[in-house]
């Protein structure tokens, strides 16, 4: 930043850039304002990487508008999370998207080639956690990662997890997704040697309190190397896993 | 009860029992009132089984008084839980008790011979859970049970628990004691085939909230056959395990 | 386990088992993987005992698929809990099941002969707790237990419970089910001499917080011998009661 | 109030009262301002009834000052609640007070003759609840009530309470005091026919959360006729019981 | 009870009562068992007083059945609380009931003459609290009490409450009903000289947490003489107010 | 008040006012009682300022009735908050109102000229917070304030907020509205030099707990000069901002 | 900001400022870094206004160091909040400070002349709230405000508050401080016509939960114009009141 | 694992390994059992990497014992976290350790050369967060990482953080540590392009609830790429950051 600033100032001094141009550059907004939203355009993305839209609080019209603005700015690979089927149908009338129903996710553009350090393993405690897992998986894939899915390997049947020890031992990063008591994160954290991202899900009943029980369990994990994202936040886990799997310069 | 009542009434009719005697019998208090406490004397105990005193809310004098009353009523095997060392010293001046410091427990009378169905296995997640485990263990032993201790077998090092699979598989009842995220109960519940009593402990920090995290985790266990007692309630677990280990008439 | 392993190794040494066969045996999955679920098949069940499916997070198709897989593996007695009437109708098109509406439970196969140590008494505080009680009762019956139902014996009318003291005194294990303030567990725990499994229900309003009030009440029970399962977890209570009622070798 | 006001206005009109005198009367403060506190003097007390000081947040000097001001205004019967022994000693140097240590309460002046409708029964679940009970008892007695103490009659030994059914059935108002799961209030509420004031206490451990478990239990009581005051609020219960026991004009 | 028992025993001794008759009397159930419910019939009601049915967890058929059983046992004045309009219509086909929609309450039989000590004042903070207030009011009226309604006198407009000081000052018991911050109870408690029953309501939004804010506020009231019932529990408040307003022997 | 009272008393003394007239004046209700509600009419409003109706707990008929009563008393500028579209349509049949759907607000009468000290800036973290923001904005505008809207300037894209530093630096009062982690209030509080009113919104999922996370975040803001209103309470924020923007006599 | 930036750029262009000087200016840190802390020096303070130090998490040495740094930068009027007496004594050895024990606050420099719009009224519910009130009062006074103290005017004795209606009606801003049920804020909010800052205090016991009850009560206030700061945050209230009382340009 | 197992089996078949030796190998415990603890020795550590001891629940003797056992097994670089000064002094008598008081951490052995991918930046909101930060920093350093400390850069003075944008932009992984409202994590997450580990601290008062407010804030961060560890868990953050900074094979 220093360098850019210094260059700009020199260029002003030299007369190469007028004061007003410099002012403009310094103030230039790295986002597009389309009225109801300000779309960030400032991230230096790896080529072909997908941009995200959080679909939950937006109308189909708003989402379509954002997609249009993105395309006009050269972004043709987009993930839309938390999108209901109804809205997806509506958006699909104007944009070419693929909708993955059980993950409530839509994607525009095709899947990029994986270019990460290694593999992201996504494990779930039960079948009911699969929607959250798919949100994480598709997010990670659209950002250029190879994903290995290990579903329904919860600790009530420990052998089901132990059966996949080698996948777990060779992962670059693991996403452990579980509801109820969320013990999966601790058990995986106990055997894994890579970063583990724990995702509590709202699966459960009674004193599971919509995922709070699993959340607390994961935060208190006796295994080191485990961190936690918000309840049901598959997207967040997939996004973070991508960052870890794309760290530059690792030996 | 019916029978007793009918017998009593017939005996009144026959003149074998006077009305006042019958009245007395019907009202007779199955406890001793020593002023500051009403000591239950009504349980039909197995011969030699220990009676309990909850020491926490009582002064040394009160505990001594209760012990005296118990001895006078023929009870010479007593467990006193949640007893501070100070109070124990005080009580020891009047009664012959043995104090187990790291479990804050005192016992009067010697250990009975085990006469239960099988063995009670007590497993802890870590070293810090040992005081609660010892409260459970001594309680169970004083009630006539053989106890197997498996301490520090938490899920962060899964192999430590797997190493003791045979003890776990041959137990009559297991007490799983853990703080932090309490995953031990689920993992043991997943491999065991007997009743599992889970005891959350207040071991942990931050969002463990004095045992609430472990408590919720255990209540939401995805493994069947697990039930839960109060946080740090080693006595309750030992007492219940004794009941399960002394069920009459099992085939 | 040791023995099995030693035998296997000797059999490899002797050439009776090839290395690959041994490898296979050591790795053989004790579950069937049918894509969306991994069905456990490893429990050594008593003859005729029922297997369970948790219906809540599964589609009718998934449940049908699991039933088919189970039948193909020789399991023809199954309990499906938390099953809506709609899904039950759907499943009934492919499988012969009986649906018990007020317990949201379906069973495949007929009721086995009771073969437990004694009787399981199931008591509820009110009429609204009956669905949870029936989930517990049917579970226990399908697992081979005799069940005695004592419904609507809450502490607001203490005489209603006292009227059934003999059932309570002769039970092998009692399941105490109550919402609101959950005092039933303590009162029953105070008179019973067998293990008591307390089930808090979400019955109540205002500060009952969907069962939390009853849950806390039961965890803090001043009566010993009481343990607790999750809110509304009738299945868990029935399953655990079965384990207690089937302990081997009791005198 | 109307009448007083009308009279005052007529008296102004008639010249019997000057405008300034009227103004003064209308504004006259029904309390004494002694700098650090404003002592209420406006309640029309029954003759000889005690006034209260909440001792917890006040220094010994402040309490002494308030006592002095009260005595100067003709109030010579006072209850000081939540008073530590240290402060009591300090206050005792200037005022004649009696200190009841296990209730952390001090009284100035002698006990008045009971003049209520009937008796106030105060029942506790255990021995540890006695301090709260004594706070309630002494408060009620100093306000002119006959108090019957039933201590240690908790539901874990139901017979202990049933033994005192007649006291409970003939009370004008019952104060039910219990910690842990607080079931005493429901059980007493189920048999009593008078108002029941439930007082949760902070007695308990683990998930009793300093009285919250008992509080919730009591609020959710399935028995009608039960209301609740704050945790450990013996004074409030005694004060309210006095009001109920002194209702005027009851038939 | 003593006396009754002694008489019965003498009568057995004298041969006036056979053993089996005595047994029957001793065991006679003070409730009617109609299968799905056990209807209490043991309360010695004042002549003409209403019996209660809690409608929430019952079907229209169950309620009709209970009404029939009650009528057959001579009870023709009944209150049914928490009754939806649908169920009320259904019940109305078989029984003559009046339905009060905004209180979700139905009554069978006509209103009795008030025969209490004085008046019950019911005050609400706002208009939204009226349904809870009406549940309290109708309950109290059906139990034989005169009720004064002071609705919408919340503390945001203090003058509205001050305007009714005389009603508040002459009440035998006050029911203070409020949601949001529940300050009404404290303010009324500060001016009243009779027992105040506080009812928190679930009226409010955001951090009112369905009545928890008002509940806590009322429990912590700085005014003495205030006790609290469960959130939205108008029935409980009306029932308790009736008990206070019918205390026997007050001077 | 003193003065008014003194004048009134003198006027009674002088015979200018009769005792009954004085009494009437002293008791005169500063509200209109229209049965189901008591409408405050006592505030000395600035000319043309709007009166408020909280629409949530009221029927369309009740709202219409209140509007009619208000108009009859000379109030022709009214804001109705929390009004569903259905009710708005109903009310619109009788009164000329404008309905702003995305703020669930209706206004009667036209917008007054701004007459405040300066400008009120309303900033939101995201698009989903806009309904709450509009409730605040319209409230403030109807009370006579100039409002500047800065929507979607959340801290995830810090540059979006920094871009509007000058609006923030020159505001008289800022309303910071955000859900999720509510960091916007702290960041704005860190740069602003005027009072900041923070409004947590229920926007978010998982552990946002319906706005509790944002609420706690805002209460704990490390920036000084920030205070908080209830979750989603746009009206309260707009009302308070108006008061701050209309303080009299500022230099 | 724009202007400053433009000027700077022109000055670079003109050669009046070298590139490196400009760079320096653009990056110049508006704080002093003294190792363990970064002291803000960027606020444009009104002449003579005090700077703040939050004493709680700092050692006496650190505080002394910060004071020295401040004095060297020309700031000789400082408030140190949450300062224990011990640390104050320590700091007093190096700096001339006055310590106000019951507010745990120390001030350096003398009190400035009040220069605000009007008066800040600070009201407390009880005597125990005075420490928080004094923290607010001294903060406000050191920032140049006239403060009116109304202590012990809680709603349990409503007349005590009504007695001070004129102070409340003529305030520019009111700080309402209360623990327990926190109703004071609502009652004051109901009569006041200026902004009200509510401060919940941790005064209370039982279900007051260290101020949470008062906090919720204040957030849910039915009175408009009330906002809330953190529990016991007297400083925050005083600081905010100062900002409101110093708004520029009010008419 | 497959391979190892297959090799072992072949070696049994070939007679190279006896059955008992194979059995031993299969069961060999990857930990040392020293009575009160089971010390894990199974992790394949990078050369020279430190092993950890959690000091909180252990006596000085236990810690010394574990250190001795570790040294005997060739581990001479150890971190002991949560170690009080007293215990450290005790341990120092037997082992050469360095104690860092403000982080409550002790290290045995010297600091290894950093061998990670890049730098770990550790930022704190305030000075009070430094102990947690140092726990993270020393942990990371002892595991072979270069650490950059940015302390006291909280959002209340946004410029302090913006001043260090380049450090933040060039980090491999950032640890953001903050108490109170925890906004630092969101703001850093909004500008950073690497994984961000958020650590809530228990710094704060009132409604910060010992770190819960910061925890919720961080879990709900509107910025992507942020995950959270337990309150005050500096060690966990340092350990995880090390894993991320040592991912093998990154491009």
**Residue entry with tokens 């309290």:** E136
Chain A to chain F Cβ contacts (< 8 Å): 48
Please tell me the least confidently modeled range out of B213-227, C36-50, D152-166. Answer: C36-50
| Residues of B with Cβ-Cβ distance to A186 under 8 angstroms | 155-156, 181, 183
Strand partners for D106: D80, D99
Chains D and H touch (3+ CB pairs under 8 A): no
Span A182-190, mean pLDDT? 91
Q: Minimal Cα–Cα distance from F32 to chain D, Å?
A: 21
Span A193-211, mean pLDDT? 92
Nearest to D239 among E165, E225, E240 (CB): E225
Please tell me the least confidently modeled range out of D81-90, F141-150, G54-63, H167-176. Answer: G54-63
C168 neighbors C121 (Cβ within 8 angstroms): yes
| Residues of B with Cβ-Cβ distance to C217 under 8 angstroms | none
Which of G164, G205, G212 to substitute to test the interface with D, most D CBs within 10 Å?
G205
- Band of pLDDT at residue B49, cut at 50, 70 and 90: low
Can you give the pLDDT at residue A176?
97
Q: Is the model's pLDDT at D28 over the cut of 60?
A: no
Q: F231 at the E interface (CB within 8 A)?
A: yes
With CA atoms as reference, the chain F residue closest to A26 would be F163
Report the alpha-carbon distance of residue C208 to residue C201 in Å, rounded. 10
G186 neighbors G222 (Cβ within 8 angstroms): yes
Chains D and E touch (3+ CB pairs under 8 A): yes
D213 neighbors D111 (Cβ within 8 angstroms): no
| Residues of H with Cβ-Cβ distance to B203 under 8 angstroms | 57
Chains D and C touch (3+ CB pairs under 8 A): yes
Report the alpha-carbon distance of residue C138 to residue C117 in Å, rounded. 18
With CA atoms as reference, the chain E residue closest to F26 would be E163
Q: Is the model's pLDDT at F156 over the cut of 60?
A: yes
F62 or B42, higher pLDDT: F62
Sign of CA dihedral C86, C89, C94, C97: positive
Span G118-132, mean pLDDT? 93
Q: E12 at the B interface (CB within 8 A)?
A: yes
ipTM exceeding the 0.95 mark:
no
- Band of pLDDT at residue F1, cut at 50, 70 and 90: very low
Which of F102, F125, F126, F127 to substitute to test the interface with A, most A CBs within 10 Å?
F127
Please tell me the least confidently modeled range out of A112-116, B85-89, E114-118, G188-192. Answer: G188-192
Torsion of the alpha carbons at H235, H238, H244 and H248, rounded to the nearest 10: -90
- Band of pLDDT at residue F3, cut at 50, 70 and 90: low
pLDDT in tens, D200-240: 999 888 888 899 999 999 999 988 899 999 999 999 999 99
Q: Is the model's pLDDT at G218 over the cut of 60?
A: yes
Cβ distance E19 to B5 less than 8 Å, yes or no, reads no
Please tell me the least confidently modeled range out of B190-199, D130-139, F105-114, F159-168. Answer: F159-168
Q: A2 at the G interface (CB within 8 A)?
A: yes
Nearest to B211 among D153, D160, D206 (CB): D206
Q: Minimal Cα–Cα distance from C61 to chain B, Å?
A: 23
Can you give the pLDDT at residue D146?
97
- Token pair for H19: 């059955």
Q: Minimal Cα–Cα distance from A85 to chain G, Å?
A: 37
Strand partners for E79: E52, E107
| Number of Cα atoms under 13 Å in the Cβ half of residue B72 | 10
Cβ distance A36 to F205 less than 8 Å, yes or no, reads no
Can you give the pLDDT at residue D239?
95
Can you give the pLDDT at residue D54?
86
Cβ distance F36 to E160 less than 8 Å, yes or no, reads no
G220 neighbors E204 (Cβ within 8 angstroms): yes
Span G123-139, mean pLDDT? 94
- Band of pLDDT at residue B91, cut at 50, 70 and 90: very high
pTM of the shown model: 0.87
G 15-44 → H contacts, CB under 8 A: 27, 29-31, 36-38, 40, 42
- Band of pLDDT at residue G12, cut at 50, 70 and 90: confident
pLDDT in tens, B10-43: 777 777 877 667 655 655 445 666 666 666 654 4
Report the alpha-carbon distance of residue C249 to residue C114 in Å, rounded. 17
SS3 C38: strand
Mean pLDDT of chain B: 85
Can you give the pLDDT at residue F43?
47
SS3 A122: strand
Q: Give the range with max mean pLDDT: A209-223, B19-33, C14-28.
A: A209-223
E79 neighbors E50 (Cβ within 8 angstroms): yes
Q: Is the model's pLDDT at C64 over the cut of 80?
A: yes
Can you give the pLDDT at residue E32?
64
- Token pair for F140: 């403030």
Cβ distance G9 to A6 less than 8 Å, yes or no, reads no
Neighbour tally for G126: CB within 10 Å: 25
Report the alpha-carbon distance of residue D121 to residue D176 in Å, rounded. 8
Can you give the pLDDT at residue D23?
58
* Cα–Cα distance list, E36 to B246, C130, E59, E91 (Å): 35, 9, 11, 17
Q: What's the CATH fold of domain D119-245?
A: Rossmann fold (3.40.50)
Q: H130 at the G interface (CB within 8 A)?
A: yes
Cβ distance G231 to H126 less than 8 Å, yes or no, reads no
Cβ distance C203 to E57 less than 8 Å, yes or no, reads yes
Cβ distance G206 to D230 less than 8 Å, yes or no, reads yes
G156 or G147, higher pLDDT: G147
- Token pair for E61: 């058929």
Report the alpha-carbon distance of residue H197 to residue A225 in Å, rounded. 11
Q: Is the model's pLDDT at C145 over the cut of 60?
A: yes
pLDDT in tens, A48-78: 567 888 888 788 988 999 899 888 877 888 9
Q: Is the model's pLDDT at A83 over the cut of 90?
A: yes
Q: Minimal Cα–Cα distance from D202 to chain F, Å?
A: 27
Span D155-162, mean pLDDT? 76
Q: Minimal Cα–Cα distance from C198 to chain E, Å?
A: 21
What end-to-end distance do the CA atoms of chain F give, in Å?
27
Span B188-195, mean pLDDT? 89
Can you give the pLDDT at residue A32?
64
Q: Is the model's pLDDT at F118 over the cut of 80?
A: yes
The stretches in chain E having pLDDT less than 50 are: 1-2, 28-29, 42-45, 250-251
pLDDT in tens, C154-179: 887 777 777 787 788 889 999 999 99
With CA atoms as reference, the chain H residue closest to F183 would be H183
Strand partners for B157: none
Q: Is the model's pLDDT at C35 over the cut of 70?
A: no
A 150-189 → H contacts, CB under 8 A: 165-166, 169, 172-173
Cβ distance G13 to A9 less than 8 Å, yes or no, reads no
Span A139-153, mean pLDDT? 94
Q: Is the model's pLDDT at A246 over the cut of 90?
A: yes
| Residues of H with Cβ-Cβ distance to A220 under 8 angstroms | 230
Alpha helical stretches, state H, B37-179 = 60-72, 85-92, 130-142, 158-162, 165-170
| Residues of C with Cβ-Cβ distance to A152 under 8 angstroms | 36-38
Q: Is the model's pLDDT at D70 over the cut of 80?
A: yes
Domains of chain C by residue range: 44-110, 119-245
Q: Minimal Cα–Cα distance from B17 to chain E, Å?
A: 10
Q: Minimal Cα–Cα distance from C132 to chain D, Å?
A: 18
With CA atoms as reference, the chain C residue closest to H9 would be C19
DSSP H101: G
SS3 E213: helix
pLDDT in tens, C96-117: 999 999 899 999 999 999 999 9
- In terms of Cβ atoms closer than 10 Å to its own Cβ (0-12, 13-18, 19+), residue E69 is middle
Q: Is the model's pLDDT at A115 over the cut of 80?
A: yes
Span G57-84, mean pLDDT? 88
């Amino acid at each position: 930043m220093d360098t850019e600033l210094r260059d700009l100032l020199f260029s002003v001094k030299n007369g190469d850039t007028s004061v007003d141009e410099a002012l403009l550059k310094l103030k230039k907004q790295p986002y597009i304002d389309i009225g109801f939203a300000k779309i960030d355009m400032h991230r230096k993305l790896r080529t072909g990487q997908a941009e995200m839209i959080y679909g939950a609080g937006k109308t189909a019209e708003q989402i379509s508008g954002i997609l249009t603005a993105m395309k006009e700015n050269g972004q043709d690979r987009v993930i839309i999370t938390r999108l209901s089927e109804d809205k997806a149908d509506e958006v699909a009338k104007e944009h070419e998207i693929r909708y993955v129903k059980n993950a409530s996710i839509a994607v525009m553009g095709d899947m990029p080639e994986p270019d990460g350090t290694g593999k992201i393993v996504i494990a779930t405690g039960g079948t009911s956690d699969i929607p959250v897992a798919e949100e994480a998986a598709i997010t990670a894939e659209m950002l250029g990662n190879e994903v290995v899915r290990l579903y329904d390997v919860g600790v009530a049947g420990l052998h089901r997890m132990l059966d996949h020890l080698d996948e777990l031992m060779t992962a670059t990063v693991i996403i452990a997704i579980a509801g109820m008591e969320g013990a999966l994160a601790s058990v995986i954290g106990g055997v894994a040697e890579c970063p583990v991202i724990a995702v509590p899900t709202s699966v459960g009943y009674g004193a599971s309190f919509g995922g709070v029980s699993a959340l607390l369990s994961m935060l208190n994990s006796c295994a080191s190397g485990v961190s936690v994202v918000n309840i049901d936040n598959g997207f967040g886990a997939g996004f973070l896993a991508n960052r870890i799997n794309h760290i530059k310069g690792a030996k």
